[in-house]
Amino acid sequence: MVLEACGVEKWFYRGKGSSNRFFAVRMADLKLEPGRVTGLTGRSGSGKTTLMNMLAGLLTPDGGRVLLDEKDLYAQDDPSLSALRNRHFGMIPQGGELFPHLTVMENILLPRGILKSKKESGRQEEEYAKELMERMDILPLSSVPAGELSGGERRRVCIARALAGKPEFIFADEPTSDLDDGNTRMTLTILRQAADSGAAVMIVTHDSEVAEYADTMLRMDGGIIRGTD
């Protein structure tokens, strides 16, 4: 599967009733392909996360199109788009959002609906989730409520949650923030391995170490992709 942004734009209006448009993203072209890690860097406010969210099916572009295997992602109704995201996309959000009253394991499995299923596929994904948790040194936290975790622990849970369903596309927004050097290398290695297994990985980052794991590094400035960083 190939995901492609074709001239996508996103703008916002400044001032009540104003016609003054602020372009968060301008005429962006970007292709995410299986087996490749794409890093996107740039200053805060340059449009990186906005572009990622449009590619991830979370934010409708105001201009241009997002194509999944040449089909317009946003031509679908909301239920269909939500189902597609759940099947094919894994998201590591910048804020490390989790359900605080659910356990670590419940948070990891919840997006796939595994908690409500006893099917074999659910058991297989639970075993894979445990494998990821062990690699990320959070398996002992399996039954701990997410609200009791540190920032770095929450980050690692979000990464395991995004990868647990073995998605074709992985979107990682500052995945190494809140992590020490060892966990940063571990996280980037896991994302690299996911790409080597066939996923398309996009990493929005300020971390220069990402370049060592990426196939392509791009830079955004003022909502425009300026090319290789």
Q: What CATH number is attached to the domain comprising 107?
A: 3.40.50.300
- Report the C-alpha dihedral over residues 220, 221, 226, 229, rounded to 10 degrees: -60
Rg of the chain in Å (alpha carbons): 18
Question: Tell me: the pLDDT tens digits for 12-22?
Answer: 887 666 567 88
Residue bearing tokens 């999944």:
68
Residue 25 CA to residue 176 CA, distance in Å, equals 24
Average pLDDT, the chain: 90
Structurally, the chain folds into a number of domains equal to 1
The pTM (predicted TM-score) of the whole model is: 0.90
Residue 46 CA to residue 62 CA, distance in Å, equals 17
Question: What is the phi-psi region of residue 166: left when phi exceeds 0, alpha when psi lies from -120 to 50, beta otherwise?
Answer: left
Question: Tell me: the pLDDT tens digits for 167-194?
Answer: 999 999 999 988 899 999 999 999 999 9
Which amino acid is residue 88, in one-letter code?
H
CB 38 within 8 A of CB 215: yes
Q: Which helix (H) or strand (E) holds 182?
A: helix 181-196
- The parent domain of residue 107 ranges over 3-228
pLDDT value of residue 228? 66
Angle at 73 between CA 70 and CA 76, to 5 degrees: 120
SS3 of 131, please?
Answer: helix
Q: pLDDT band at residue 113, thresholds of 50, 70 and 90? A: low
Q: What percent of the chain has pLDDT over 90?
A: 75
**Residues near 80 by beta carbon (within 8 Å), at least 6 away in sequence:** none
SS3 of 106, please?
Answer: helix
